[in-house]
Amino acid sequence: MSFQFAVFQDKTGISESAAYRFIALFHQTKGLFRVALAGGSTPTLLYTLLAEPRCRDSVDWTRIHLFFGDERAVAPDALDSNYRTAHETLLSKVPLPAENIHRLRGESADLDSEASRYEAEIRTLFRGETVPSFNLVLLGMGADGHCASLFPHKASLSVHNRLVTPAEPGLHPFVPRLTFTYPLLNMAKQTLFLVSGADKAETLVQVLEGEPRPLDLPAQAVQPIHGKVTWLLDKSAARQLSR
């Protein structure tokens, strides 16, 4: 598995590095900068940093489009909503045009139709690229080795004919999900995993240094065809790595 990683003292170090990389990648990108946000709790400090004036004012938000790599089947104002988290920490604090925020409608009564709608929305912005290639995909990793809402041994791992799919949950919150599929994730130009905490250490060493077993450890199968994967880790999460 080819990847780069960087280890920081704590989540603050991870988040500052991720914010710097976000801004650097933006300035290296001509035209639209299209990003898929991660859910969960780890990225919230990154989102908060991006909304601070020194970061906020260093990019042109009219060129940035934000998508969601996954979402829970809850209302956008529900505590478990990835959109709600991003809205509170970032989206409501930066001059991002409303049309540049691409929300996955977790509240939809028909998740299969919403997955298709969202795929069409992605394809529209990527002007018909056969498989859209995000400039940046942000991901976290669960202690079970999942990423986005691709959980071990779930059917969503085998969906290769769609870019977005409904998914069964594997961890709290146990609500149905919507998620990017591997074909979309693996077309990204740059993928950043943000992983923090001792509870991830055992899984992380298996994902990065163990035998390939992506059905057990879905994060292992995030291997973009042309892009780079960089793992931003804190010392607690990285403590079992051999290098």
Tell me whether residue 101 or residue 148 sits nearer to ligand 6PG (CB atom): 148
Question: Token digits for 8?
Answer: 């920081």
Quote the least distance from Cβ 178 to ligand 6PG, whole Å.
10
Burial per residue of 37-50, b for 16 or more beta-carbon CB atoms within 10 angstroms, e otherwise: bbbbebbbbbbbbb
DSSP 14: H
Quote the least distance from Cβ 128 to ligand 6PG, whole Å.
27
Tell me whether residue 82 or residue 191 sits nearer to ligand 6PG (CB atom): 82
Tell me whether residue 44 or residue 100 sits nearer to ligand 6PG (CB atom): 44
Tell me whether residue 58 or residue 197 sits nearer to ligand 6PG (CB atom): 197
Which strand (E) or helix (H) includes residue 194? strand 190-195
Quote the least distance from Cβ 40 to ligand 6PG, whole Å.
3
DSSP secondary structure letters along 143-178: TTS-BTTB-TT-GGGG--S-SEEEE---SSS-S-EE
Tell me whether residue 41 or residue 62 sits nearer to ligand 6PG (CB atom): 41
Quote the least distance from Cβ 144 to ligand 6PG, whole Å.
8
Which residues contact ligand 6PG (rule: CB under 6 A)? 38-42, 70, 82, 140-142, 146-149
Helices (H), the chain: 11-28, 44-51, 53-56, 82-86, 111-125, 182-185, 201-209, 235-238
Quote the least distance from Cβ 39 to ligand 6PG, whole Å.
3
Q: Is 121 exposed, middle or buried (0-12, 13-18, 19+ CB in 10 A)?
A: middle
Query: Do 193 and 180 meet the contact criterion of CB atoms below 8 Å apart?
Result: no
Tell me whether residue 40 or residue 76 sits nearer to ligand 6PG (CB atom): 40
**185-170-200 Cα angle (round to 5):** 75
Quote the least distance from Cβ 91 to ligand 6PG, whole Å.
16
